[in-house]
Structure 1
Amino acid sequence: MNPRVLLPRLVQTVRPSPLGPVLLAAGPQGLSGIWFVGQQHFPDPADWTHDDAHPVLHEAHAQLTAYFEGDLQTFDLPLQFVEGTPFQQAVWRALQNIPFGHTTTYGDIAQRIGNPQAVRAVGAAIGRNPWSVVVPCHRVVGANGSLTGYAGGLDRKEHLLALEARMNSPIR
């Protein structure tokens, strides 16, 4: 018999973004997730409390808005891991080190976490990243530079990379 894992009580809200509505969730220690509504691996928030005024959710939405408006390059939000294996969490932490406006490959992430043979597992972990945009999984591309995989859809990934390229350009 598997003991039931008790997750911390989460609060959530849905907010607009230029790429469609996003579900934001927070626990007692910080932001627990940001997902585009309807994306792959979308959580079931049925047991989560709705709270539009929660300070972490409010700040997350404010920072997302500033990012989409071209006024923010680095997110400063406390993240609370409520799921994920140690391997997945290592991948998600490695994603946080990809500089704004740059891309890297799945193989590079596998190298960074000390497991160069785990390229496919890295891809699967990236696909389950619970912090869309904030933990920049959209900055990971195929070994040949192709846009491969994004739980929020390749059209969103392409938009995010183009936004960062414009923001990183000396001429805006």
Structure 2
Amino acid sequence: MFVDAVIETDRLRIRPYQLKDVDSLYEVVSEPNFYQYVPEEVPTHDDVRKIVEWSMDCNLKNTKENIIKFNLAIIDKEYDELIGYCGLGPFDLNKNKVELYFGLSEQYRGMGLAKEAASAVLNYGFNVIGLNEMVSTVHPDNIASVKILESLGFVYFNTLKDLPKNEAYFEGHNYYVIEK
């Protein structure tokens, strides 16, 4: 369910990270605007390698009841190329909630691929893993991601504000919820 997961769509193969993904994943996440709306620093190549290794370890430990992190590579089937990531993991502000997230290389945006990947992972979470609810956060200026979430059936719940200092990077983000 986690280690050997392969989620197929018409144009994409979505699968757990592998060591061979490090260079391609680093190329994607180090694009100039990739982290424009993400409340994290751009990782170094070594950071990406550690994330991939940690993700592989998480998949050995993930269970339906406790998803540590389920990081997935988005592969363009036509070119067999890693073009982004998506996945499920505990929501930083409430570890009892499972968050859906996704990010795509700039050259592949605007083609419906992010929605295709997010939809596939959403369905996998509900129908294979057995989740009953998922959440997602998005910066309100990230109109493309807002449209994707809303088109998938996510409902705006609130705007995150007055957060503790250690979680301030989510300040002003919109919080969305979807139930099975």
- TM-score w.r.t. the length of structure 2 is 0.25
More strand by share: 2
- TM-score w.r.t. the length of structure 1 is 0.26
